[in-house]
Structure 1
Amino acid sequence: MFQKTELQSGVNLYTRQTAQFKTVSLAIKFTAPLTEETAAARTVLANVLEDSTAQYPTRTKLRQALEELYGAVFYTDTGKRGNEHILTVYAECVNEEYLRNPDAAVFEQLLSLVTESLFAPNLVNGEFDQAIVEREKQTVIDRIGSVYNDKTRFANKRMLELIRSGEPASQSAYGTEQSVSTVTGKSLKDTYDRMLKEDTIDIYILGDVDTDQLTDRAHTLLPFASGSRKTVSDLKSSEGKGNVVPKHIREKQDMKQGKLNLAYSTPVTFKHPDYPKMQMMNGVLGGFAHSKLFINVREKESLAYYCSSSYASQYGLLYIMSGIDANEEEKTAKLIEEQIDAIREGSITDLEIHQTLSLLSNSIRSAFDSAKGQIEIYDQYKLLDEDFSANQLIEKWKMVTKEDIQNMASTLTKEITYLLSGREAIDHE
């Protein structure tokens, strides 16, 4: 799908020539070990790099430069995958072949702007401008704080903290409010220097461009210095059933709808050979509107405003999230458990398997309808196979049998039942 070129140890270029889009897209991904402190600093850094450069020292001037490139897009983002923290720089512009002036060299100019943001940022006396840093710190703090106002997200975050405290599964890609508050212009410059020298770097260029020419020029266009780039080790798989004693925890806040979440561990993680089978099992259980949780808990019994499952393959976790009347906790939790037991016992229809296969297939195919989707999907699945294609994964899903789905449900070990409810709810404790 993408052609890989190693520019230096730890720095790889992935190019794909395609006429599918009328745009040319660039993504540069910086990967480092995930900690709360580094996540906070790197998220602030991402915002600051997007704000301005040495040549365009204000946000307004940088945005004006992008507008002159026929409305080109340039932004940054941070995320996590397993025990990795990923800072991404995205850029996209129209392919000049579709302009009245085909010699506009729009992508070349956009590439120059991106490289300036990385190699000639807006510094004051060798540090990042403290005023900009303080403004972007507040932006990140507000983003972190927003989770407390979204009780669905908060309940899931809290549940993960209770079973995976201090581990990547429960850590935010944005860090904590406290760790963000300690960032300064000087410390951010140190974070920036380490990122350029120590991160693993993956560069993606996708569009109807001369990829061979871009590959030849990549060393000049993206002059990353040689350094000791860190290789992030894989997470250890869950031990599965073991001697886990399920927790049952209830907490209260000022809210109306109760949030009932359950979490299960499994030894089947992203790189496990049974990964596609677990994806299918999750789809049958609660991944879609035809799934058992949706049909039986929400539709038939009307016990939940929503009820679905998610498979966090990087952490070997499957969790079920539902919005309920807190007084119906026991009845809802019992019915949820019955859906898992039904799959373990083989109560799976051919229609459920067919619908799950169709929806999983449509989901990955639709992701390939955008340039960013192709980059993001490939960036994840190249860890399994650098020749990855959507059809390869779809073929693996097609091979999954009812017995496979049963076996995947049998690997699940419940770790917690967590209820977040309003203070007026009946106290069962």
Structure 2
Amino acid sequence: MFHKTELQSGVNLYTRQTAQFKTVSVAIKFTAPLTEESAAARTVLANVLEDSSAQYPTRTKLRQALEELYGAVYYTDTSKRGNEHIFTIYAESVNEEYLRNPDVPVFEQLLTLVTESLFKPNLNDGVFDGAIVEREKQTVIDRIGSVYNDKTRYANKRMLELIRSGQPASLSASGTEKAVSAITKESLKTTYDQMLNEDTIDIYILGDVDTKQLTERAQTLFPFTQRTRKSMPAEAGKQDGYVPTVKHIREKQDMKQGKLNMAFSTPVGFKHPDYPKMQMMNGVLGGFAHSKLFINVREKESLAYYCSSSYASHYGLLYVMSGIDAEQEEKTAALIDQQIEALRDGDISDLEIRQTLALLSNSIRSSFDSAKGQIEIYDQYKLLDENFTADKLIEEWERVTKEDIQQMAAVLTKEITYLLSGREAMDHE
């Protein structure tokens, strides 16, 4: 799908020549171990680098430069994947072939803007501008705090903190408010230097361009030095024969709708050979509108406003999330358990399997409808196969049988039932 070129040890260029889009895209991904402190610093740094540069020292001037490039896109983002934190710079411009004046080197100029913003940031006396840093710190703090107003997100976050406290599964890609508050303009410059000199780097260029020429120029465009990939130990999996004590925790806040969440651990993670089988099992259980949780818990019994499952493969966890009236907690939890037991017992129809296969297939194929989607999907699945294609994964889903789904349900181990409800709700304690 993408052609890989190693620019330096730990620095790879991935190019794809395609006329599928009228745009040309570039993404630069910096990967490092995930900690609360590094996530906070790197997220603030992402905001600061998106704000301005030495060439365009104000947000207004940078945005004006992008507008002059026929509305080119340039932004930064942070995310996490397993034990690692990913800092992404993404930029996109129209392919000049579609302009009235095709001689304007729009993508060349965008590449210059991106590389100058990265290698020549907006510094004062060798450090970042203090006012910009403080402003962006507050922006990140506000973003972190917003989770408390979204009770669906908060309930899942709180549940993970209860079962994976201090581990990557429960850490935010933006860090914590405390860690963000501790950042200074000097410490942020240290984070920037470490990122450029120590992170593993993956560069993607996708579009109808001369990828051979870009590859030849890449060393000049992206003068990174060689580095060794840093990694954190993978989270310890569930030990054979070990069954954790199941937690049942209820908490209250000022809210109306109750949030009933469950978490199940599984030894089947992203790199496990049974990963496609677990994806199919999750789809039959609660991944879609035809799934057992939606049909039986929400539609037939009307016990939940929503009810679905999600498979966090990098952490070996499967979540069930539902919105309920708190008084219906026990009945709803029991019915959710029944759906998993049904899978274990083989109560799985051919229709459920076909519908799940169709929706999983449509989902990954639709990701290829955008340049960014192609980059993001490949960036994840290249960890399994650098020759990854959607068709290869779909073929693996097609081989999944009812018995495979039974086996995947059988290896789920419940770790917690968590209810977040309003203070006026019935007190079960």
**1:281-340: CA deviations, max 9, x gaps?**
000000000000000000000000000000000000001000000000000000000000
- Counterpart CA distance in 1 for 2:52 and 2:307 is 43
Counterpart in the other structure of 1:273: 273
Q: State the Cα distance separating 1:243 from its structure 2 match.
A: 2.2
- Counterpart CA distance in 2 for 1:134 and 1:355 is 50
Q: State the Cα distance separating 1:102 from its structure 2 match.
A: 1.1
Q: Using structure 2 for the length normalisation, give the TM-score.
A: 0.99
Gaps spanning 5+ residues in structure 2: where? none
Q: Is the 8 A contact 1:250 1:419 kept in 2?
A: yes
Q: Is the 8 A contact 2:284 2:353 kept in 1?
A: yes
Counterpart in the other structure of 2:38: 38
Counterpart in the other structure of 1:109: 109
Runs of 4+ displaced beyond 3 Å: 226-229, 231-241
Gaps spanning 5+ residues in structure 1: where? none
RMSD (CA atoms): 0.9
**1:135-163: CA deviations, max 9, x gaps?**
00000000000000000000000000000
Counterpart in the other structure of 2:118: 118
AA aligned to 2:220 is T
- Counterpart CA distance in 2 for 1:237 and 1:18 is 41
- Counterpart CA distance in 1 for 2:249 and 2:401 is 36
Q: Is the 8 A contact 1:240 1:413 kept in 2?
A: no
Counterpart in the other structure of 2:83: 83
Q: State the Cα distance separating 1:204 from its structure 2 match.
A: 0.2
Identical columns (%): 81
Query: What's the secondary structure of 2:315's corresponding residue?
Result: coil
Q: State the Cα distance separating 1:229 from its structure 2 match.
A: 4.4
Count the aligned residue pairs.
429
Query: What's the secondary structure of 1:314's corresponding residue?
Result: helix
Q: State the Cα distance separating 1:248 from its structure 2 match.
A: 0.3
Q: 1:93 to 1:31 in 2, by over 3 A?
A: same
Q: Is the 8 A contact 1:305 1:324 kept in 2?
A: yes
- Counterpart CA distance in 1 for 2:411 and 2:46 is 39
- Counterpart CA distance in 2 for 1:240 and 1:301 is 36
Q: Is the 8 A contact 1:197 1:228 kept in 2?
A: no
- Counterpart CA distance in 2 for 1:402 and 1:228 is 43
Q: Using structure 1 for the length normalisation, give the TM-score.
A: 0.99
Counterpart in the other structure of 2:57: 57
Q: Is the 8 A contact 1:77 1:87 kept in 2?
A: yes
Q: State the Cα distance separating 1:382 from its structure 2 match.
A: 0.1
Counterpart in the other structure of 1:322: 322
Q: State the Cα distance separating 1:194 from its structure 2 match.
A: 0.2
- Counterpart CA distance in 2 for 1:313 and 1:85 is 16
- Counterpart CA distance in 1 for 2:92 and 2:351 is 41
Query: What's the secondary structure of 2:121's corresponding residue?
Result: coil
Counterpart in the other structure of 2:262: 262
Counterpart in the other structure of 1:3: 3
Q: Is the 8 A contact 2:7 2:219 kept in 1?
A: yes
- Counterpart CA distance in 2 for 1:333 and 1:357 is 27
- Counterpart CA distance in 2 for 1:425 and 1:64 is 53
Q: Is the 8 A contact 1:241 1:412 kept in 2?
A: no
Q: How does 1:299-318 map to 2 (within 5 A)?
A: 299-318=299-318
Counterpart in the other structure of 1:349: 349
**1:67-86: CA deviations, max 9, x gaps?**
00000000000000000000
- Counterpart CA distance in 2 for 1:239 and 1:109 is 54
Counterpart in the other structure of 2:150: 150
- Counterpart CA distance in 2 for 1:305 and 1:281 is 22
Counterpart in the other structure of 1:412: 412
Counterpart in the other structure of 1:238: 238
